[in-house]
Amino acid sequence: MSFTKSPEDNNPVKIPGQTVNFIIAIVGGLLGIVAFFLPWIGFSSGGGLLGSLSGLKIGAGPVVALSKGAVIFRGTPTSYLVPIAGMVTLLVVFLAYRRKIIVEKDGFWLIALGALPLLVLLGQFGEAQRDAAKVGVDIHYLSGLIATFLALLLIILSGTLTTAALARQKPSFRNTLGAYGFMSPTSLLVIIFFLIPVVLLFILSLTNLSSANFGDPWTFIGLGNYRRMFSDKFFPKILRNTVFYVVMTLAFFNVGLALALALLTSHINRRSSFFFRLIWLLPRITPSVVYIVMWKRFTQVPPYGIINQFLGWAGIQHQPYWLNETPWLFVILVNGFVGASFGMIIFTSAIEAIPKDFIIAAKVDGASSWQIIKDITLPLLRWPLLFVTTYQTLSLLVSFEYILLLTEGGPGLFTTEVWSLTAYKRALFTYFGSNQWAYGAAWGFVLVVIGAILSFIYLRVFRFDDLVQEPKIDVL
Amino acid sequence: MKVALDNLTKKWGTVVGADSITLNINDGEFIAFLGPSGCGKTTTLLMVAGIYKPTAGYIRFDDYMVNHMAPKDRNIGMVFQSYALYPHMDVFKNISYPLKLKKIPAKELKERTRKIADMMGIGHLLDRKPAQLSGGQQQRVALGRALVKEPGLLLFDEPLSNLDARLRLSMRSEIKRLQLELGITSIYVTHDQVEAMTMADRVAVIQSGRLQAFAPPDELYDRPQTLFIAGFVGNPPMNFITVDILHENGLFSARAPGLTMPLSAGHTDKVAEKGRVIMGIRPEDITIANEGAAGEVYIVEPLGRDDLIDVKIGDLHVHVLADPEMSLKMGDTVNLQFNANKVQFFDPETERSLLW
Amino acid sequence: MTPTTFETEQTYGLRKSLSRAIPYILLTISILPIIIGYAWIFIATFSVRTEGLIPKDAHGNIGGLTLQNWSFLHNPEVWNATLNSFGIAVGMVVGVGFLSSLTGYALARMNFAGRKGFLGTTLLLHAFRPEMLLIAIFQVLLFIGGIPLIGDWVGFNTVGGVALVMITLDLPLGVWLMKGFFDNLSWDMERAALIDGASRFRVWWEIILPQIKPGLAALSIFTFITGWNAYLIPFTFTIGSKVANLPVLLNRFSGDTSLGSWNEVAALGLFQLVPILVFFIFTQEALLNIYGGGSKGGA
């Protein structure tokens, strides 16, 4: 028996799905071109999927709708991308056919190219109705819809065939494919609700989109929103508020109190320390709305307020509505009581991880409890401290749920308004009359950049990549 | 099933797991991969199983190239050091799992599982969970699971090293008997040379990813081809002494400070040209006699049937097996007689045997 | 020079027990606001009205315990919101549990091209806080809402859309946690299953998942609480009472009621708290672990 050759040494076999690929690409290409002319034959078209995702108004064609005899024409230079994509697809198919070069990867490219105009087409129908309704036209997009779904079905079919063929041909590809099967649902969601929004947020911030001009093509105004943001009358106040809020909450609660709690609970017996830590966890797991109701009740005017009741028992006459009297105190308290538990848990486990020998040795040397904490525990908590500080800075900077519920940034103008709350309110509140999505996006995007940088740094510092081990099974 | 490995290589970046291993295993043969831990024997076995993908080289089952075949299609059974039983399934489900995956009808599945369980002597434990079993019982379940689908090839990855010494001895003979009865080709990975020598038809000695030798046990023992094999096979291990080959009065002898040994006729021509060689001799091939190299008893280790004596000759330490009745004590002076027919000679540079 | 003083044994013992008591005293003081807050909820729920922590009846006398605050149980709006809350929470438990164990498994146990990139992305996202993305997610949901069929289920202003967004935002943490659990499993068991004839998907489902049940349970509790408590995302992406969940409903009630009827708000709050407290009582240890270790990367 002579040595059998590895199949990988053989010439690549023909892929069964190839013909289907051709058809898909041709259909996709043609549709891309046809889509451009659709508006003239009674269909309306809007931005489509790609348009919405990229923030560019990539129409499949210039938006045209008939309105009582008058023709409304709306188009951008990017509208022409789709027919171009269609034509490129046809060209590639033609070249590939002539040269017989369609193997493996090229099949994918064909699908991608063919899919592009189809996807755009799919997205159109959602917006088409709205566009048409605006000018009072009822359009029938059902036939187009069916065509689109049919085309999508074809894409899926040919994709499956091609990948199956590839998997047969190249075993290592089979592994990758299987793993991607496990990864794809999550990846899809993360792309839609994480990655696209990040890009979209930036693009939004360059436009003037608001609920007033919603549905119109987006108009890019460059860095106008950022300029407006920095020149806002209240910008210095909001910036000051943000710094004050983050620093105070961090110092007194999320790190300070957390450390104190961890040290205190590690000096009492286990059962009671477990009890105290559990109670401290309660604010974190209490629904935020319920939690805020409790705090509001604390601060109420007499006879309802709990603080004032205690003050009354103590004989103090000054009994105001505390939330208005000292709003910052309560903003920080409310956030701090939730935030402290995170640091407390991290610090406690770090303290428990300190070898008992150190403590015993120090005790033998005659150190007092305070000296042990100062000289042994605290230096060993350096990394957890840094971790909690960076992590909590990040969350305090961008989280605003409790402030929104407690004061909504008030009382009065911008008293307790922080950066993230501004972004949220500008974009998603009907604030000063309209949702200023673009302006809010500018505020938000600055925080996203800061957040991304901070999280990147802390991944570096804490060397999370060292935790990653290599898989010990190669095959699927 | 015949198995052939052809230049089988596994690398992770620059780390070499197995380096061009080539060997042929006959149908029904029992093979052991022997080597120190981390030498690449388990890596090779996992490539045969299909768990690792070879970086280069081929694996063939009965002349079919199986490099790209999924483990489930290879018709193999494997027994692991950690037993690798499924803790959430009872014994019956553990053993019948391969059959279930093969979609064997329920009735036949039951029969075959029972048969295997009875054969392994665990028929009464079928409804227990693995955690409720002893180590030996767990190993039987693992063996049953590997056997139940009637594989063409059985793989063992140090299956006995988690058992205590007595159990190991009885399981050893049991596995050997099963293998003989069923006639399934088997590969047995172990770092224990006694296991390899007693069980295997042929032993593949692997060191640093390379195949050092592939031979029947007695040949490995009597005619070690490299210094590594000579040192690794046999217990207590072979003595190695650097000697000079001298030619005086037409007689060849090996000499080290404090000892001289005449060469036997069969060895003379193979070592004559070499000036300095490494001489190896097993402790049982040295006898304590009235004359010979004189040395001092350095340490006495009673092994029960024998005493292992560490004798110091000059700066040299030589291990010798002696009758306990001689009741040697530290500091005693003894004379050692070397069996000239049983010595081995190795080239100090290549570490290869000069004899075989 | 100050003269050395010796303590009597008695004062020494006193001082020692005092210093022992100090941590307890401080800790007790620290939890007082939490205890009082909860106490008020319980007292207010069952009384006509409260002044501070004191239950009062209509005439201002101490007493007036009642069950009338629970009349909201007859309100179909509340039950609809409960159903929505439950739907979001269960959707999150199933979605996050299923997806993150699927993805975490591939990341921990499979060898494929691009694995490092996926791991890096997971890590980065797991450290990243997504609140600011809501502005853009709003636009994405509006777009999805425009797609025929799909939009009716997961678009803007649907419970499905809210659940999907919440699932996604929790995925990086879930995946990282799950990966940590998978990392600690025996490789031999997985190899054995592959040799026994199982496909990788089957190994995951039949062999591996049963091993990490405790981890999966911990993650489920965590996501259930997150989903049940969710306020910001449902509030942002829903309009009207049909799709509101309990926190959104409660916030609306507490916003437009006078101070006097806060007791009904408290009752509704307690109603929301009950499942959380049940979880809290039965799974304390797991909760402590996940709220600390979870964010640390499951390491």
Q: How far is A1 from chain B (nearest CA, A)?
A: 7
Up-side HSE of residue C1: CA atoms within 13 Å toward CB? 2
User: Distance of CA A17 to CAs A21, A174, A254, B91, B293, Å?
Assistant: 6, 17, 59, 46, 82
Q: Which two tokens stand for residue B325?
A: 């009745």
Asked whether the beta carbons of residue B68 and residue A476 sit closer than 8 angstroms, the reply is: no
Which residue do the tokens 């108009």 mark? A219
Identity at A281, one-letter amino acid code: L
Q: Is the pLDDT of residue C147 over 70?
A: no
Compare CB distances from B82 to C186, C194, C198 and report the shortest one's residue. C186
Give yes or no: residues A244 and A330 share one domain.
Answer: yes
pLDDT (tens digit per residue) in A46-58: 333 333 333 333 3
Helix then strand then coil, in percent of chain B rounded to 5, is 30, 35, 35
Number of domains chain A contains: 2
Q: Which two tokens stand for residue A340?
A: 């402290």
Listed in sequence order, the residues at least 6 apart from C106 whose beta carbon sits closer than 8 Å to its beta carbon are: A179, A182, A183, C112
Q: Which of B7, B65, B82 to mutate to test the interface with A (most CBs of A within 10 A)?
A: B65
pLDDT score at C217: 85
Give yes or no: residues A261 and A390 share one domain.
Answer: yes
Residue A82 falls inside a structural domain: yes
Domains annotated for chain B, with CATH where assigned, are 3-232 (3.40.50.300), 239-346 (2.40.50.140)
Asked whether the beta carbons of residue A290 and residue C272 sit closer than 8 angstroms, the reply is: yes
b/e per residue C5-42 (b: at least 16 CB within 10 A): eeeeeeeeeeeeeeeeeebbeebeebbebbebbbebbe
Q: How far apart are CA A371 and CA A354, in angstroms?
A: 16
Whichever domain contains A22, its CATH number is 1.20.140
pLDDT score at A216: 63
Mean pLDDT of chain B: 88
Asked whether the beta carbons of residue A470 and residue B12 sit closer than 8 angstroms, the reply is: yes
Residues 171-200 of C with CB under 8 A from B: 186, 188-189, 191-199
Query: Which residue on chain B is closest to C186 by alpha carbon?
Result: B84
Asked whether the beta carbons of residue A4 and residue B68 sit closer than 8 angstroms, the reply is: no
Whichever domain contains A317, its CATH number is 1.10.3720.10
Q: Is the pLDDT of residue A9 over 60?
A: no
**Which residues of chain B lie closer than 8 angstroms to A474, CB-CB?**
51-53
Query: Which residue on chain C is closest to A445 by alpha carbon?
Result: C132
- Between C215 and C294, the higher pLDDT residue: C215
Q: How far is B150 from chain C (nearest CA, A)?
A: 11
Q: How far is C106 from chain B (nearest CA, A)?
A: 16
Task: Give residue A62's pLDDT band: very low, low, confident or very high (50, 70, 90).
Answer: very low
- Between C191 and A412, the higher pLDDT residue: C191
Instruction: Determine the length of chain A.
Output: 476
Q: Is the pLDDT of residue A120 over 60?
A: no
- Between A209 and C133, the higher pLDDT residue: C133
Give yes or no: residues A247 and A391 share one domain.
Answer: yes
Mean pLDDT of the C104-127 span: 84
Mean pLDDT of chain A: 71
Compare CB distances from C197 to B46, B51, B98 and report the shortest one's residue. B98
Q: What are phi and psi of B71, to 5 degrees?
A: -50, -40
pLDDT (tens digit per residue) in C49-103: 777 777 777 777 777 777 777 877 888 888 888 898 999 999 999 999 999 999 9
Number of A/C CB contacts below 8 angstroms equals 326
Write down which residue in A143, A169, A195 finishes a domain: A169
Mean pLDDT of the A79-90 span: 57
* Of C199, B182, B158, the residue nearest A182 (C-alpha): C199
- Between A101 and B89, the higher pLDDT residue: B89
Query: Which residue on chain A is closest to B47 by alpha carbon?
Result: A474
* Of A267, A205, A231, A250, the residue nearest A399 (C-alpha): A250
Asked whether the beta carbons of residue B78 and residue C191 sit closer than 8 angstroms, the reply is: yes
Asked whether the beta carbons of residue C210 and residue B88 sit closer than 8 angstroms, the reply is: yes
Identity at C184, one-letter amino acid code: N
Query: Which residue on chain B is closest to C207 by alpha carbon?
Result: B86
Q: Is the pLDDT of residue C229 over 80?
A: yes
Percentage of chain A surpassing pLDDT 70? 59
Give yes or no: residues A271 and A160 share one domain.
Answer: no
Residue A135 falls inside a structural domain: yes
Compare CB distances from C140 to A196, A310, A473 and report the shortest one's residue. A196
Asked whether the beta carbons of residue A474 and residue B53 sit closer than 8 angstroms, the reply is: yes
pLDDT score at C297: 34
pLDDT score at A72: 35
Task: Give residue A384's pLDDT band: very low, low, confident or very high (50, 70, 90).
Answer: confident
pLDDT score at B86: 92
CATH superfamily of C83-244: MetI-like (1.10.3720.10)
Listed in sequence order, the residues at least 6 apart from C226 whose beta carbon sits closer than 8 Å to its beta carbon are: C89, C92, C166, C170
Q: Is the pLDDT of residue B297 over 50?
A: yes
Asked whether the beta carbons of residue B68 and residue A7 sit closer than 8 angstroms, the reply is: yes
Residues 18-77 of B with CB under 8 A from C: 46, 49-51, 70-72, 74, 76-77
Q: How far is B187 from chain C (nearest CA, A)?
A: 15
pLDDT (tens digit per residue) in B244-280: 888 877 778 888 887 888 877 777 777 777 778 888 8
Q: Which residue numbers of B have CB closer than 8 Å to A's CBs?
A: 6, 12, 50-53, 58, 60, 63-65, 67-68, 70-71
Q: How far apart are CA B194 and CA B43, in angstroms?
A: 21
Kindly tell me the sign of the dihedral angle through the C-alpha atoms of A171, A172, A178, A180: negative
User: Distance of CA C50 to CAs A292, A294, B292, C264, Å?
Assistant: 17, 13, 108, 11
**Which residues of chain A lie closer than 8 angstroms to B71, CB-CB?**
475
Query: Which residue on chain B is closest to A6 by alpha carbon?
Result: B65
The whole-model pTM stands at: 0.79
Mean pLDDT of the A249-271 span: 87
Q: How far apart are CA C85 and CA C276, in angstroms?
A: 12
pLDDT (tens digit per residue) in B126-180: 999 999 998 889 999 999 999 998 899 999 999 888 888 888 888 888 899 999 9
pLDDT (tens digit per residue) in B92-109: 999 999 999 989 999 999
pLDDT score at B77: 92
Domain span at residue A94 reads 7-169
Q: Is the pLDDT of residue A157 over 80?
A: no
Asked whether the beta carbons of residue B72 and residue C186 sit closer than 8 angstroms, the reply is: no
Give me the long-range contacts of A246-252 (CB less than 8 A, separation at least 24): A246/A393, A246/A396, A246/A397, A248/A328, A248/A332, A249/A332, A249/A335, A249/A336, A249/A339, A249/A396, A250/A389, A250/A392, A250/A393, A250/A396, A252/A332, A252/A336
Write down which residue in A401, A416, A431 finishes a domain: A416
Compare CB distances from B72 to C188, C189, C194 and report the shortest one's residue. C194
The mean-pLDDT minimum among A118-127, A440-449, C241-250 falls in A118-127
- Between A93 and B211, the higher pLDDT residue: B211
Query: Which residue on chain C is closest to A440 by alpha carbon?
Result: C135
Q: How far apart are CA B233 and CA B210, in angstroms?
A: 16
Residue A195 falls inside a structural domain: no
Percentage of chain B surpassing pLDDT 70? 100
Compare CB distances from B82 to C188, C196, C210 and report the shortest one's residue. C188
Write down which residue in A169, A191, A222 finishes a domain: A169
pLDDT score at C99: 94
Query: Which residue on chain C is closest to B95 by alpha carbon?
Result: C196
Residues 151-190 of A with CB under 8 A from B: 171-172
Mean pLDDT of the B186-195 span: 91
Residue A206 falls inside a structural domain: no
Q: Which of A4, A170, A173 to mutate to test the interface with B (most CBs of B within 10 A)?
A: A4
Q: How far apart are CA B275 and CA B243, in angstroms?
A: 9
**Domain boundaries defined on chain C:** 83-244
Q: Is the pLDDT of residue B116 over 70?
A: yes
DSSP character for C208? Answer: I
Percentage of chain C surpassing pLDDT 90? 14
Query: Is the complex ipTM more than 0.90?
Result: no
**Which residues of chain B lie closer than 8 angstroms to C192, CB-CB?**
78, 80, 84, 86, 142, 145
Q: What are phi and psi of B201, to 5 degrees?
A: -75, -40
Name the strand (E) or helix (H) holding B12: strand B3-12
**Which residues of chain B lie closer than 8 angstroms to C189, CB-CB?**
82, 84-86
pLDDT score at A6: 41
Residue A391 falls inside a structural domain: yes
pLDDT score at A416: 85
Q: How far is A468 from chain B (nearest CA, A)?
A: 16
Mean pLDDT of the A441-455 span: 87
Asked whether the beta carbons of residue B72 and residue C199 sit closer than 8 angstroms, the reply is: yes
pLDDT score at B110: 93
Task: Give residue C205's pLDDT band: very low, low, confident or very high (50, 70, 90).
Answer: very high
**Which residues of chain B lie closer than 8 angstroms to A171, CB-CB?**
67-68
Chains that touch A (3 or more CB pairs under 8 A): B, C
Query: Which residue on chain C is closest to B103 by alpha carbon?
Result: C197
Query: Which residue on chain B is closest to A3 by alpha carbon?
Result: B63
DSSP character for C47? Answer: B
Q: Is the pLDDT of residue B31 over 60?
A: yes
pLDDT (tens digit per residue) in A184-220: 889 989 988 888 888 888 888 888 777 777 666 667 7
Listed in sequence order, the residues at least 6 apart from B79 whose beta carbon sits closer than 8 Å to its beta carbon are: B139, B142, B143, B146, B154, B155, B156, B157, B159
Q: How far apart are CA C84 and CA C134, in angstroms?
A: 20
Q: How far apart are CA A31 and CA A25, in angstroms?
A: 10
Q: Is the pLDDT of residue A17 over 80?
A: no
User: Do A49 and A120 meet the contact criterion of CB atoms below 8 Å apart?
Assistant: yes
